Structure 1
Amino acid sequence: MTPNRGLMTAVAVPLLLLGACARPGVAGEAGSPGSAAPVTESTPADPTIALRVEYRGGYVPAETIPSRIPLFSVYADGRAISEGPVTLIYPGAALPNLREIKLSEAQVRQLTADAVAAGVSSGSDFGTPGVADIPSTRISVVTAGGEQSVEVMALSEARPDDTSLTASQQAARKKLSAFVKSLHDLFAEGGSPAAAPYRAERVAVLASPYQQTDDGIVGAPVKWPAAELPGPFLNEQLRINCLTVEGAAKDEVLAAAIDANERTPWESAGKKWQIKFRPLLPDEKECADLRRQA
């Protein structure tokens, strides 16, 4: 069984309820939301976001929030990145399975138009279902009229007979869910264009003191090959530290982590650390960029 790790983490690990604050709904004026923003296919490595889908909040361990990876990130230059399927084992692999495809200018324009047609625009009403502890899905798209975004609680989990939702809200949710499914289909095995591994220029390393659990799993310690852990605080209250590796240091870290799992203890500065690896996306440059997740 190979679920998406982002969804699996968001809905299957009931450890700590984190009340995450919602981001603003719309940036800029509405203008003509159905018109995609200009995209220049010949512009190399443009990290401007054209479309993003990500989870927010939910009943998950607070320390996992900064390492969350958006479900889909589509950039103005045609790059599209998503987390691929992972094997359902415990502990899971240390490195996430990020996949990348290259879309044409026409495809990017069509996706942004499809997002707006599916309801990603100011004033869309998706209601609030009678469920708790489920992540909301935030979808943002850049149009000629500015950024449009919606945040929908329990987009796929609400029951068809939920009396908290009107018929029109149920219909709006169904339409938006179909759009999200179309994005999943883009990355499906055998899809066109074919997905390839995403090669991040930088990787954020979120470290915390290693704690032995009652699951009986004790991995062999691995010597940390880069700058000493744990790095500066990303969130002092939650005791989450983060440092960024790039260049030759990043390559050494990835080589050391390829056979590691989520419970592997890493040795640095005379201590053992537990690490979550978060490859930074093209619009992310440093650990501080991960604070948007909270």
Structure 2
Amino acid sequence: MTRLRGTILAAAVPLLLISACAQTAGNSAAASPDARDSSAAPYPQGLVLRVESFGGFVPPEHNLGRLPAVSIYADGRMISEGPTTAIYPGPALPNLLEQMLTPEMVQDLVKKGQEAGVRNGADFGSPNIADAPSTRVVAGDQSVSVVALSEAQASDPNLTTAQRTARNKLAAYVKTLESLSGAPGVAAPVAYVPDSVAALVRSYVDPQGEEPKSPEIAWPGPTLPGPEMNPGLGIGCVDVTGPATAKVLTSAKTATTSTPWTAGGAKWSITFRPLLPEEKSCAALKGVR
């Protein structure tokens, strides 16, 4: 979003931006804020707000399969990660929740994002810390990526006073977005049911010493392992779409992150990445840092 001058323009631009996104998508929101009517037209897919992490010292499949913490769309739909059970191995499917925000809330959050420093080219510095993830924040048509937003020390010598102040403001805004699920005026959450899923596939390696073993499950979807993702990772990706989506999701509900999936006489490990409204296939995950 271009730099705003004057209080009238500052108030008007978020509204115009959100209206433009909705018009571009060419669809209207579902009538009920609490549930999606499957017979209704698809939601508008203009992304307005997002918080996501990337990079850091994690396995490649974790980065490729990582979901944004919060995504908010032009129609007010919010998709976020809900709580998970602290057990190992964890469930195969992430706990994604869908809620609705009012247009006024979305407009206000876009405005507050700008006030918190979400502007293209903003300077947040580079702290003296290795292997930390970066946080990307989108607000309207502006975005920033900040290395070690929550990990950097307040006294980091590589950061100026202005950079520390900017980081604190942005971190507080991120916390606000990540806490919206229980905020007043936000509709009660329902499970997000994706239209398609990216299955990130790699050869199964028996986790030595793990007890109890996760039972095998026959893979009900398209042929594994699929085309390789980023070169050298040894990770394929399969687009699960159409009728296969329901079959795969049903099987995955009983699986864990350690489940061996059997197909073609081989065993596979699968990371399930539900695709968000603007994501259509595995191609959306290629090049993820």
**Taking structure 1 as the reference length, what is the TM-score of the superposition?**
0.83
Letter matched to residue 228 of structure 1: T
Match of residue 97, structure 1, among 95, 100, 114: 95
Letter in 2 for 1:264: T
Offset of 1:167 from its aligned partner?
Answer: 1.9
**Which of 282, 285, 289 in structure 1 is aligned with 2:280?**
285
Report the counterpart of residue 154 of structure 1 in structure 2.
Answer: 148
- The alignment status of 1:259 with 2:250, answered yes or no, reads no
How many Å separate the matches in 1 of 2:49 and 2:230? 27
User: Where has structure 1 moved over 6 Å in runs of 4 or more?
Assistant: none
Which runs of structure 2 are paired with 1:159-174 in the superposition (5 Å)? Answer: 159-174=153-168
- Determine which of 60, 65, 75 is the counterpart of 1:67: 65
1:221-254: per-residue Cα shift (whole Å, max 9, x none)? 1111122211222234211111111232111111
| Alignment check: 8 A CA contact 1:203 1:279 kept | yes
Kindly provide the amino acid, as one letter, of the partner of residue 74 in structure 1: I
Q: Among 172, 196, 199, which residue is 1:205 paired with?
A: 199
Residue 34 of structure 2 corresponds to: none
Query: For 1:12-51, what aligned pairs fall within 5 Å after superposition?
Result: 30=2, 32=4, 34=10, 35-36=13-14, 37-39=17-19, 40=22, 43-44=28-29, 45-51=43-49
Identity fraction in percent: 44
Amino acid of the residue matched to residue 233 of structure 1?
Answer: E
Q: Is the 8 A contact 2:198 2:238 kept in 1?
A: yes
* RMSD of Structure 2 on Structure 1 (CA): 2.0
In 1, are the aligned partners of 2:56 and 2:134 still within 8 Å (CA)?
A: yes
Among candidates 196, 214, 217, match of residue 208 of structure 2:
214
Distance across 2 between alignment mates of 1:190 and 1:277? 32
**Given residue 253 of structure 1, which amino acid in structure 2 is its aligned partner?**
V
Deviations 1:190-222 (A, max 9, x none): 883222211101011111110112342432111
Aligned residue for 2:173? 179
Shift in Å, 1:189:
8.5
Question: Structure 1 counterpart of 2:124, which letter?
Answer: F
Relative to structure 2, which stretch is displaced further, 248-257 or 36-45?
Answer: 36-45
Asked whether the 8 Å contact 1:185–1:191 carries over to 2, the reply is no
For the 8 Å contact 2:199–2:238, the answer to whether it is kept is yes
How far residue 38 of structure 1 moved from its aligned partner, in angstroms, is 3.3
Cα-to-partner distance string for 1:158-204 (whole Å, 9 max, x where unaligned): 11222222222111111111111111211248883222211101011
In structure 2, stretches of 5+ residues that fail to align are 30-42
Distance 1:237 1:148, change over 3 A: same
TM-score (norm 2): 0.85
Alignment of 1:55-134 (within 5 A): 55-134=53-132
Question: Which secondary structure does the structure 1 equivalent of 2:18 belong to?
Answer: coil
CA distance, structure 2, for counterparts of residue 189 and residue 250 of structure 1: 32
The gaps in structure 1 that reach 5 residues or longer are 1-28
Q: Structure 1's 184 and 38: CA in aligned 2 closer, same or farther, altered over 3 A?
A: closer
Q: Separation in 2 of the partners of 1:233 and 1:131?
A: 32
Q: 8 Å contact 1:68–1:293 — kept in the other structure?
A: no
* Aligned partners of 1:48 and 1:75 also within 8 Å: yes
Which whole-Å deviations, capped at 9, do the CAs of 1:32-64 have from their partners, x for residues lacking one?
Answer: 495311325972411111112111211111222
**Residue 65 of structure 1: SS of its match in structure 2?**
helix
Aligned ranges 1:131-146 → 2 under 5 Å: 131-142=129-140
Report the AA paired with residue 119 of structure 1.
Answer: G
The question of whether the paired residues in 2 share the 8 Å contact of 1:202 and 1:280 is answered with yes
Pairing 1:194–2:188 present: yes
CA contact 1:129–1:154 (8 Å) conserved in 2: yes
Whether the aligned pair in 1 keeps the contact of 2:45 and 2:73 (CA below 8 Å) is yes
